[in-house]
C-alpha cells in the first residue's frame, strides 16, 4: 500500500487546506513541463494519485482505515522483534551483565585456582572450632583464689569484674552483691585454651556459682555455630560453585579472628 501522506509530505491528521497547499507546491515543483527530470512524470503521477484519494472525504476515510491498520501492525511487529531480541540477549548473557560496570567478569577473575587454599583454611577453621568445643567438655582446671576486689569495666555497664590474685572474672552486676572481698573462690578454666568456665565463691554460710557474663561458652556461642556452618560449606561445597567456596573461606577467616579475640582478650 502506498503511503499517500508520505508522498505529499504531510501528517496523517492534516487538514483539507494543508492537503491542497502541499499538492500545489509539489505539483509546481515536479510538473513535467517545469521540472525536466527524467522521473518527474512518475513523481507527478503519484502526487496526483495521492491528492485524488486524500482530497475526497469518503475515499480518505477508507484509505485511513487500511492505513491505520497497517501501521498498527507494523508497530506490533516491531515490538515483537524488540521483545525477541531482548529475550535472546538475556538468554545469551544469562551469566552476567555485558555492560562493563555491571557484569560479573568471570573471565578475568577465575576463583577456581584458589579453591585448594580456601579448603585448607576451612579445614583449619573446622579443627579450631572442634578444639574449642572439645575444650568445653574436657575436665576443668581449678585454681583456689581469694577475692581481692570488685571492679567496674568499660566493656559493659551491666558487668562487674571479680578480681582475685591471678584472675579477673566478669559476672553480671545483679549477682555481684553476693560476693565480698576476702571470700574464698575457685576459678575453673578449660584445659586447652584456658577459657574461664565458672567461678565458685564460698562465704561463711553459702556457696555461689557464677558463669562468666561474656564468654565464647555463653552469650557468644552462636559464633561457633556459624563458624562450623561456614567451615562445612568451604570443605564440602562442590567445585562448580567457586564463588560460594571463596565467600565461605573469607567468612571463616573473619570468624576465626573474632573467636580468638573473644577467647584471648582480657
Greater model confidence, 44 or 185 = 185
Spatial contact of 199 and 169, defined as CB atoms under 8 Å apart: yes
Quick one: average pLDDT of 148-158?
Answer: 73
pLDDT at 85 over 70: no
Give the other-Cβ count within 10 Å of 17's Cβ: 8
Greater model confidence, 109 or 131 = 131
| Mean pLDDT of the residues in the chain | 81
Residue 26, class by beta-carbon neighbours within 10 Å (0-12 exposed, 13-18 middle, 19+ buried)? buried
Spatial contact of 182 and 165, defined as CB atoms under 8 Å apart: no
pLDDT for position 27: 84
- Sorted by where each begins, the domain ranges of the chain are 4-89, 112-125+221-264, 139-210
Greater model confidence, 94 or 147 = 147
Describe the strand order of the beta sheet including 196-202 as a list of residue ranges.
141-146, 184-189, 196-202, 207-210
Quick one: average pLDDT of 8-25?
Answer: 87
pLDDT for position 257: 92
User: pLDDT-based confidence at 143, cuts 50/70/90?
Assistant: very high
pLDDT for position 91: 61
Q: How far apart are CA 105 and CA 111, in angstroms?
A: 11
Cα within 13 Å of Cα(115), Cβ side: 16
Quick one: average pLDDT of 102-130?
Answer: 77
Report residue 99 CA to chain centroid gap: 18
Q: Which CATH architecture has domain 4-89?
A: Orthogonal Bundle (1.10)
pLDDT at 106 over 50: no
pLDDT over 70, % of the chain: 82
Amino acid at each position: 500500500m502506498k503511503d499517500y501522506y508520505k508522498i505529499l509530505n504531510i501528517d496523517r491528521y492534516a487538514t483539507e487546506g494543508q492537503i491542497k497547499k502541499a499538492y500545489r507546491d509539489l505539483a509546481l515543483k515536479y510538473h513535467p513541463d517545469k521540472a525536466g527530470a527524467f522521473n518527474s512524470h512518475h513523481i507527478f503521477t503519484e502526487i496526483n494519485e495521492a491528492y485524488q484519494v486524500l482530497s475526497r472525504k469518503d475515499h480518505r476515510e477508507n484509505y485511513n482505515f487500511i492505513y491505520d491498520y497497517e501501521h498498527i501492525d507494523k508497530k506490533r511487529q516491531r515490538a515483537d522483534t524488540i521483545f525477541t531480541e531482548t529475550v535472546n540477549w538475556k538468554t545469551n548473557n544469562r551469566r552476567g551483565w555485558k555492560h562493563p560496570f555491571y557484569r560479573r567478569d568471570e573471565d578475568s577473575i577465575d576463583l577456581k585456582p584458589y579453591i585448594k587454599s580456601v579448603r585448607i583454611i576451612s579445614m583449619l577453621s573446622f579443627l579450631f572450632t572442634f578444639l574449642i568445643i572439645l575444650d568445653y567438655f574436657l575436665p576443668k582446671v581449678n585454681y583456689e583464689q581469694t577475692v581481692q576486689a570488685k571492679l567496674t569495666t568499660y566493656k559493659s555497664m551491666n558487668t562487674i569484674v571479680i578480681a582475685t590474685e591471678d584472675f579477673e572474672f566478669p559476672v553480671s552486676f545483679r549477682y555481684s552483691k553476693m560476693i565480698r572481698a576476702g571470700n574464698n573462690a575457685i576459678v575453673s578454666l578449660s584445659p586447652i585454651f584456658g577459657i574461664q568456665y565458672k567461678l565458685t565463691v564460698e562465704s561463711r554460710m553459702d556457696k555461689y556459682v557464677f558463669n562468666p557474663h561474656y564468654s565464647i561458652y555463653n552469650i557468644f556461642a552462636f559464633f561457633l555455630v556459624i563458624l562450623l556452618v561456614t567451615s562445612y560449606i568451604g570443605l564440602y561445597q562442590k567445585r562448580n560453585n567457586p564463588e560460594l567456596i571463596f565467600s565461605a573461606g573469607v567468612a571463616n577467616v573473619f570468624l576465626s579472628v573474632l573467636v580468638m579475640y573473644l577467647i584471648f582478650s582480657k
